[in-house]
Amino acid sequence: MGVSKSVHKRTCVAVPSKVRSAAIENDGSRVMSMELTVLSLRLRAIYATAVAVQLALRGQAAERDLEIADALRVGVCDALGDGLREFDAIERRGSRRSG
């Protein structure tokens, strides 16, 4: 009863806002993590498809197919593979920080 209303009011407002901020930040991290997981899966599916097409073109061995397979490997497969390795490294750094 010895606490003034103004002190009590400030104390009650400060605690919930800190808790609310932490909850929002935590939810945001979870949402971002889920979005990154979905993105990773999509990129891996694209990579697998591109590799399969490249291998199919090489198997046909028609005159232009080998050139197309090389372009697909350099322009898509290698680029996606590099990007996925970078993505994995970023993901590992993030999980070390949070865990």
Could you read off the pLDDT of 6-56 as tens digits, one per residue?
444 444 444 455 555 555 566 777 888 888 888 889 899 999 999 999 888
Q: Where are the domains of the chain?
A: 5-98
Q: Could you tell me the pTM of the whole model?
A: 0.60
CA atoms within 13 A on the CB side of 86: 7
Q: Say yes or no to pLDDT of 2 above 80.
A: no
Q: Is the separation of the CB atoms in 18 and 29 below 8 Å?
A: no
Residue 56 and residue 17: Cα distance in Å, rounded? Answer: 58
Lowest mean pLDDT among 6-15, 55-64, 69-78: 6-15
Q: For residue 45, give Cα distances in angstroms to 26, 39, 50, 81, 84.
A: 29, 10, 9, 11, 11
Q: How wide is the angle at C-alpha 14 spanned by C-alphas 13 and 15, nearest 5°? A: 95
